[in-house]
Amino acid sequence: MKSSKDFKRIVVKVGSSVLTAGKAKINKVNFQRIVKHIVDLRSQGKEVVLVSSGAIACGLSFMNIAKRPSKLSELQAVAAIGQNILMQTYTLEFNKYSLKCAQILLTREDFYERKRYINAKNTILSLFNLGVIPIVNENDTISVDEIKFGDNDMLSALVAMLIETDGLEILSNIEGLCKTYDKEKKTYKDLIKKVEKITPDIKIFASGTDNAVCIGGMESKIEAIKIATNVGIPVVLADGSSPTLKIDFVNPDQSDGTFFDASSNYNLRASWIAFGAQTKGKIIIDEGAKKAILSKSASLLSPGITDIKGEFSEKDVVDITDKDEAVLARGITNYSSQKLIRIKGRRAEKEVVHRNDLVLLK
């Protein structure tokens, strides 16, 4: 059955596994296929953001380093060398089709801070207006462990959420989500064509990666896909190195790969609270408060609070958990952690987290 959406705005994520074909350098054939795929989308009148890995691979190749470094400072140095090469390669390839591209480097902090979050969105929208293709990558040269995405799968989901995209393509070196993996042959089989919702049964098909030049894997892709689908964005996971790649969000049965249906639709602000903002601490609540916020659409009140963990200020985003610290919701608190420690269990002047600032995660 055809979707009513026109899928005018698409985010395409391509990983190092595709761009390098598993080696420590760019694979020319795969690179050209990805660019042609973007060009074809543009020719259909679509706005496209390309989330591209490859800077580290380009740096490794340029410096004749065979294996990805494990030391963060060395990774940052290699990325600094390779990012310029990666963008130059994209620029030259898109020039063949009379298209221009622009570089946007982001860190996790750009999504934590609301002002920077909006600025990043406005930059991408302005590039659309100029007819320029935004190419987004993690800013590896300044990222540290606390703010790294870890891979561009998560980055692509957050960018898709940021610009309210209609669909997200995650292009890897596998045909999609498969039920089985042959460790000896290192091949996947039994493709799942459609996933209605990401459940524990779906997660068991996820696995890591031992690729020398990339750090993602199916597990990271599933986590990213869960975020995208939870904010109303359908996702297709497919083989980006395929010479006959076909992705169709309107008719997913005719599309390559695995189609992940959008399961819910938060508004923009709720999406940011749930998945974009940095949580600064935890508010642990009793069973009565849990029932009220989960089933009665209630605000969180101070009498239901049993404990506070972490240090946070008024207007910070916090996790709201049950007694076992399972996260039930996230929200913007009206009190600092110090103030809540003093008033927990007693009635306060106002809601700790107002319903309009609270997003359920269960």
pLDDT digits 0-9 by tens, 19-78: 987 777 889 999 999 999 999 999 999 999 999 988 888 999 899 988 888 888 888 898
Q: Which one of 223, 238, 269 terminates a domain?
A: 269
Same domain, 209 and 324: no
Contact assessment for residue 11 and residue 49, using Cβ atoms and an 8 Å cutoff: yes
Same domain, 217 and 123: yes
Average pLDDT over residues 137-164: 78
CATH number of the domain that residue 150 is part of = 3.40.1160.10
Query: Letter for the amino acid at 23?
Result: K
Same domain, 214 and 351: no
Q: Is residue 112 part of a domain?
A: yes
CATH number of the domain that residue 285 is part of = 2.30.130.10
Same domain, 303 and 247: no
Given this model, what pLDDT does residue 299 score?
95
Same domain, 76 and 143: yes
Q: Is residue 1 part of a domain?
A: no
| Collapsed DSSP state (helix, strand, coil) of residue 353 | strand
Q: Is residue 309 part of a domain?
A: yes
Parent domain of 81: 9-269
Q: Is residue 2 part of a domain?
A: no
Same domain, 296 and 224: no
Contact assessment for residue 303 and residue 293, using Cβ atoms and an 8 Å cutoff: no
How are strands ordered across the β-sheet holding 317-321? 305-309, 279-285, 317-321, 327-332, 358-360
269-302 pLDDT, tens digit each = 888 898 888 899 999 999 999 999 998 889 999 9
Distance CA(347)–CA(262), nearest Å, equals 39
Q: How far is CA 140 from CA 144, 197, 243, 327, in A?
A: 8, 32, 30, 30
Confidence of residue 322 (pLDDT cuts 50, 70, 90): very high
Same domain, 88 and 219: yes
Q: Which one of 242, 269, 296 terminates a domain?
A: 269
Average pLDDT over residues 163-186: 84
User: Is 147's pLDDT higher than 60?
Assistant: no
Given this model, what pLDDT does residue 144 score?
59
Number of domains in the chain: 2
Same domain, 26 and 82: yes
Q: Which one of 221, 238, 269 terminates a domain?
A: 269
DSSP-derived secondary structure for 225-270: HHHHHHTT--EEEEETT-TT----SSSGGGSSSEEE-------HHH
186-205 pLDDT, tens digit each = 666 788 999 988 877 777 76
Same domain, 282 and 265: no
Same domain, 238 and 103: yes
Same domain, 67 and 100: yes
Same domain, 125 and 248: yes
Name residue, tokens 């946007």.
104
**pTM for the complete prediction?**
0.83
User: Is 316's pLDDT higher than 60?
Assistant: yes
Confidence of residue 121 (pLDDT cuts 50, 70, 90): very high
Distance CA(256)–CA(247), nearest Å, equals 6
DSSP-derived secondary structure for 292-317: HHHHS-PPB-GGGEEEEES---TT-E
Distance CA(24)–CA(30), nearest Å, equals 14
